[in-house]
């Protein structure tokens, strides 16, 4: 079922007007921005750092590259890419949410990373860059929040240079029944309470848990990337399939 054929879409388990979803997602991330990093560590027991490290290792980023860290939020991937591309390269930290961008900019400046990073507020469905202008795109834990994922993937394909690659790091589906039950209990019972205690916001974290369940599974996302034009599309499951890293190339 293609999202673009309908006037409604999912917002977690709710069905909402397509035009309203972006602002509803924005409200979630305005709410959680200040506590985003500490909640990531608490929610994943720090494992998110290993997932991101694997994405960085598979990105093939080199000196002189122009990299888009899309939905880059507080800049975990941007920080490493900034070091990898060097003075002759550029990293664009792009996010639809200005609160997240501000947190990311402050964090990266505190790390002394300023010379080769640009901050741009943008919508993944209509990326504000010329065709064939970016070497590598990463989107980590952001695609599931995009209203029209097919449009976003086509937009990413358009701006990649021939030979460029896209990496999508996202929560996915585990086929381990015991792990799935444990994960569901954690997501819908413990996670919202943790959000209430730490970020004073249980509803945003309930949405995040629901949005994970509504995201396409590994094979479906692989097919969506291929429909957008990507070739040699593969994925790697991590932590039993709770997270998957998809990779595709433009030729």
Which residues is 209 bridged to in the sheet? none
Q: How many CB atoms lie within 10 A of CB 96?
A: 20
- The torsion angles phi and psi of 69, rounded to 5 degrees, stand at -95, 90
| 3-state SS, residue 74 | coil
> Is 124 labeled as ligand-binding?
yes
Can you tell me the distance from the alpha carbon of 138 to that of 82, in angstroms, rounded to the nearest whole number? 13
Does 227 appear as a known binding residue?
no
Residue 198's Cβ-count burial label (10 Å; 0-12, 13-18, 19+) is middle
Number of Cβ within a 10 Å radius of residue 211 = 19
Distance CA 13, CA 207 (A): 8
What is the distance between the alpha carbons of residues 220 and 124, in angstroms, rounded to a whole number?
19
Say whether 123 counts as a known binding-site residue.
yes
Give the annotated binding-site residues for S-adenosyl-L-methionine. 74, 95, 123-124
Give the annotated binding-site residues. 74, 95, 123-124
């Amino acid at each position: 079922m293609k999202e673009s054929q309908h006037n409604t879409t999912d917002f977690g388990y709710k069905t909402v007007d397509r035009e309203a979803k972006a602002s509803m997602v924005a409200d979630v991330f305005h709410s959680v921005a200040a506590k985003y990093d500490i909640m990531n560590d608490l929610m994943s027991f720090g494992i998110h750092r290993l997932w991101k490290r694997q994405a960085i290792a598979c990105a093939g980023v080199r000196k002189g590259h122009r990299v888009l860290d899309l939905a880059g939020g507080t800049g975990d991937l941007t920080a490493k890419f900034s070091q990898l591309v060097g003075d002759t390269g550029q990293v664009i930290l792009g996010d639809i949410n200005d609160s997240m961008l501000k947190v990311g900019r402050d964090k990266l400046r505190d790390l002394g990373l300023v010379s080769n990073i640009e901050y741009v507020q943008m919508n993944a469905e209509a990326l504000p860059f010329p065709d064939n202008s970016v070497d590598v795109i990463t989107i980590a834990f952001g695609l599931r929040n995009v209203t029209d994922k097919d449009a976003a993937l086509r937009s990413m394909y358009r701006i990649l240079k021939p030979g460029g690659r896209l990496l999508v790091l996202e929560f996915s589906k585990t086929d381990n029944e015991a792990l799935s039950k444990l994960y569901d209990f954690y997501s819908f019972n413990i996670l919202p309470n943790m959000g209430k205690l730490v970020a004073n916001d249980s509803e945003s974290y309930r949405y995040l848990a629901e949005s994970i369940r509504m995201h396409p599974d590994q094979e479906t996302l692989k097919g969506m990337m291929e429909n957008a034009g990507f070739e040699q599309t593969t994925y790697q499951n991590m932590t039993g399939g709770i997270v998957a890293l998809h990779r595709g190339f433009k030729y």
